[in-house]
Amino acid sequence: MRNVCIAGNWKMNMIPSEGKAFAAQLIDAASKAAENETVVVAPPFITIPAVIEAVKGSPIKVAAQNMSDQASGAFTGEVSADMLLDAGVTYVILGHSERRALYGEDDAFINRKVRYALEKGLNVILCVGETLEERESGRLEQVLQTQVTEGLKDVSASQMADVIIAYEPVWAIGTGKTATADDANSAHSFIRGVVADILSEDVANNLIIQYGGSVKPNNVKSLMSMEHIDGALVGGASLTVEQFAPIVQFND
Ligand code: PGA
């Protein structure tokens, strides 16, 4: 059985005091999660230290939502891998569609970040996914193939133990529209096939592939029941304990 990972992407929400209070309330649900499940929250950079403090000694892991591809130096506004590691961060989300669309991040740039994060010992959640226009014009597989292949360029089979792929169809993010469990499962199965081709069957079989895009307490069970769906990357519903706790405990 593959491992499972439920991650909450807070985006630009939660000031430090809110994040701290939220994290403390989530510990109970995270402690009751299944043995093969990892629970991750991704606060904004400034909120990370307060959350790390609050989750100390609990099973909750903390992710950053982005990271520089550079080690240090004159890069105003950027945050390095060493800074994240020193703060206690163990995961980083890279290539989120909002970074791709709003800040012009392309596959080559994302790949530099992926390789650097892995070199530094961070776990990576690499986001991929098509726009509605790409899906409707029949380019779903081509887009996923490119994003996965380019995003994982020069990543070794052994480094893949620290990689999660999040399939997030852009049209389902924050819109209330979820891919059907069958559509998501077939995209996940395609992604697994691409990983098998570029790395190995073994790597592909062990890879956690999360679904993201309007995951809620009422659809998480059907998504998680699918063969190739091993977790969720949750935006809006990760902002209240009322919604996120039942997602974390989808197995109950
Ligand atoms: P959503 O966001 O759950 O609000 O659709 C998901 C994401 O962008 O990671």
Distance 72 CA to ligand 1 centre (A): 30
Distance 220 CA to ligand 1 centre (A): 13
Distance CA 19, CA 1 (A): 33
Nearest CA to ligand 1 atom 2: 235
Coil/strand/helix, residue 186: helix
Distance CA 151, CA 95 (A): 8
Distance 136 CA to ligand 1 centre (A): 21
For the annotated catalytic residues, the residue numbers are 96, 168
| Host domain of residue 126 | 4-248
Distance CA 175, CA 131 (A): 13
Task: Give the mutation target among 41, 234, 238, 244 for probing the ligand 1 site: most ligand atoms within 8 A of CB.
Answer: 234
DSSP string of 17-41? HHHHHHHHHHHHHHHTS-TTEEEEE
Do residues 238 and 9 make contact, with C-beta atoms less than 8 angstroms apart?
Answer: yes
pLDDT digits (tens, 9 = 90+) for 43-77: 999 999 999 999 999 999 999 999 999 999 999 99
- Total domain count for the chain? 1
Task: Give the mutation target among 41, 130, 214 for probing the ligand 1 site: most ligand atoms within 8 A of CB.
Answer: 214
Q: Which residues contact 169 (CB under 8 A, 6 or more apart)?
A: 129, 130, 135, 179, 184, 187, 213
Residues in contact with ligand 1 by the CB-under-6-Å rule are 9, 168, 173-174, 212-215, 233-237
Q: Which atom of ligand 1 has the smallest separation from the CA of 98? A: 8
pLDDT digits (tens, 9 = 90+) for 2-33: 999 999 999 999 999 999 999 999 999 999 99
Query: Token pair 């995961």 is at which residue?
Result: 91
Distance 11 CA to ligand 1 centre (A): 9
Tokens of 2: 């593959």
CATH number of the domain where residue 111 is located: 3.20.20.70
Element (H or E) spanning 111, and its range?
A: helix 107-120
Closest CA to 10 of 55, 57, 64: 64
DSSP string of the chain? ---EEEEEE--S---HHHHHHHHHHHHHHHHTS-TTEEEEEE--GGGHHHHHHHHTTSS-EEEES---SSSSSS-TT---HHHHHHHT--EEEES-HHHHHHH---HHHHHHHHHHHHHHT-EEEEEE---HHHHHTT-HHHHHHHHHHHHTTT--TTGGGGEEEEE--GGGTTSS----HHHHHHHHHHHHHHHHHHT-HHHHHH-EEEEESS--TTTHHHHHTSTT--EEEESGGGSSHHHHHHHHTTT-
Q: Which atom of ligand 1 has the smallest separation from the CA of 234? A: 3
Walk along the chain (252 residues) and give the pLDDT tens digit of each residue.
Answer: 899 999 999 999 999 999 999 999 999 999 999 999 999 999 999 999 999 999 999 999 999 999 999 999 999 999 999 999 999 999 999 999 999 999 999 999 999 999 999 999 999 999 999 999 999 999 999 999 999 999 999 999 999 999 999 999 999 988 888 889 999 999 999 999 999 999 999 999 999 999 999 999 999 999 999 999 999 999 999 999 999 999 999 998
Rg (CA), the chain: 17
Distance 62 CA to ligand 1 centre (A): 17
Q: Which atom of ligand 1 has the smallest separation from the CA of 166? A: 9
Query: Token pair 């961060």 is at which residue?
Result: 89
Tokens of 203: 């790597």
Give the distance, in angstroms, between the CA of residue 12 and the centroid of all CA atoms in the same chain: 16
Coil/strand/helix, residue 124: strand
